């Protein structure tokens, strides 16, 4: 395993670093201290070409201009909170609305726009570990409590990428963290509509026009949201308009049970997600981003990527029957997601 760090520019006078890990099995993953982001994930394919499967931008400054969160850690609260407000112990907290009246992915200046402190970057016994830390002060984007957050990436020789999240607070607050990766297992040369997808979920969350869950937990049976068996992402996408942007309720979210599997029959590359999070957001963007990486040519039409974001449910602070995202002093927010990259099959479902 090879790994190295190098300067990547500055943001608001702060140095930004980029970290790259390469395994003996042909996986190369790059991370940035800006947004604790996964900048790229490249794999040697059958033609011995290094295929990039995770979309990232070329310069740190581009991340501050982009409005679609490519590969970054989003928080304090991933996804949406209705009305950009919630109450804790009858105290109302108004948050930083950045999507109409709602808050999305932590507000106007969320964790995705911060330079994180690098704690550890080392390799031991075939595992490379990269740990980032961020302090979020009381009142940050309206959220209560001083919060310390750690994100730990681990890359193994058998082409697994583990992402662990930890957080502690000194006041009751809400936390929901995820990695907002944009994946295309064909290297972004074509759309993802022919990618085969399986989600271990019997239920999903219907949404209103502004993509806030209605509160209903609906069965996927007989709907375009039924991915319990492998089917192409594009098989029913015209029935959900041009894109998915919905949260699925995972049946058995553990690190032993594969919750989501993605497979491209053309490249023969598979990506499997194991997670401890109760849900996963499926987002298949069709809109071409305004800020792009000129080194990666996106398809001219169709859904150019798929986002698979293990997380808690959107708007959970305002829906009492959703799993709670409330973090109390003395408690620790602790979740892990593992991505397994394979060639010739899909881990867990060969």
Asked if 309 is an active-site residue, the reply is yes
Which SS3 state, helix, strand or coil, does residue 113 take? helix
Q: What b/e string do you get for 59-92 counting C-beta neighbours within 10 Å, with b at 16 or more?
A: ebeebbebebbbbbbbbbbbbbbbbbbbebeeee
d(CA 229, CA 124): 38
Q: Which is it for the CA torsion 182, 184, 188, 192, positive or negative?
A: negative
Q: What b/e string do you get for 330-339 counting C-beta neighbours within 10 Å, with b at 16 or more?
A: eeebebbbbb
As a residue count, the chain comes to 350
Asked if 113 is an active-site residue, the reply is no
CB-CB contact of 141 with 293 (8 Å): no
Residues 6+ apart with CB under 8 A from 241: none
Which member of 131, 309, 312, 335 is catalytic?
A: 309
3-state secondary structure 178-234: EECCEECCCCCCCCCCCCEEEECEEEEECECCCCCECCCCEECCCCCCCCCCCEECC
In the numeric block, which tokens belong to residue 163? 């992402």
Closest residue by Cα to residue 316 from 76, 74, 98, 77: 77
Residues 6+ apart with CB under 8 A from 88: 144, 172, 173, 174, 326
Which member of 105, 113, 174, 180 is catalytic?
A: 180
CB-CB contact of 197 with 230 (8 Å): yes
Active-site residue numbers? 180, 309
């Amino acid at each position: 395993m090879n790994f190295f760090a190098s300067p990547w520019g500055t943001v608001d006078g702060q140095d930004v670093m980029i970290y790259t890990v390469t395994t003996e099995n042909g996986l190369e993953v790059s991370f940035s201290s800006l947004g604790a982001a996964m900048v790229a994930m490249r794999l040697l394919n059958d033609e011995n070409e290094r295929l990039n499967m995770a979309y990232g931008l070329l310069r740190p400054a581009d991340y501050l201009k982009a409005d679609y969160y490519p590969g970054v850690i989003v928080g304090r609260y991933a996804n949406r909170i209705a009305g950009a407000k919630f109450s804790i112990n009858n105290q109302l907290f108004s948050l930083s609305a950045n999507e109409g009246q709602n808050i999305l992915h932590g507000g106007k200046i969320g964790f995705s726009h911060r330079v994180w402190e690098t704690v550890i970057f080392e390799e031991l016994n075939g595992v490379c570990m990269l740990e980032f830390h961020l302090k979020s002060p009381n009142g940050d984007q309206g959220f209560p409590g001083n919060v310390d957050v750690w994100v730990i990436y681990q890359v193994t020789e058998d082409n697994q990428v583990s992402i662990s999240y930890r957080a502690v607070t000194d006041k009751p607050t809400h936390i929901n963290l995820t990695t907002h990766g944009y994946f295309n297992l064909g290297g972004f040369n074509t759309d993802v509509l022919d990618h085969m997808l399986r989600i271990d979920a019997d239920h999903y969350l219907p949404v209103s026009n502004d993509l806030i869950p209605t509160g209903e937990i609906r069965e996927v049976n007989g709907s375009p949201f039924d991915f319990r068996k492998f089917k192409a992402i594009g098989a029913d996408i015209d029935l959900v308009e041009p894109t998915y942007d919905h949260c699925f309720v995972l049946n058995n979210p553990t690190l032993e049970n594969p919750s989501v599997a993605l497979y491209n029959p053309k490249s023969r590359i598979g990506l499997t997600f194991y997670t401890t999070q109760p849900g996963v957001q499926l987002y298949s963007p069709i809109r071409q981003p305004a800020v792009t990486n000129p080194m990666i040519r996106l398809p001219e039409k169709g859904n150019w990527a798929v986002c698979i974001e293990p997380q808690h449910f959107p708007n959970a602070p305002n829906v009492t029957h959703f799993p709670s995202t409330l973090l109390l002093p003395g408690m620790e927010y602790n979740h892990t997601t593992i991505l397994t990259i394979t060639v010739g099959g899909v881990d867990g479902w060969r």
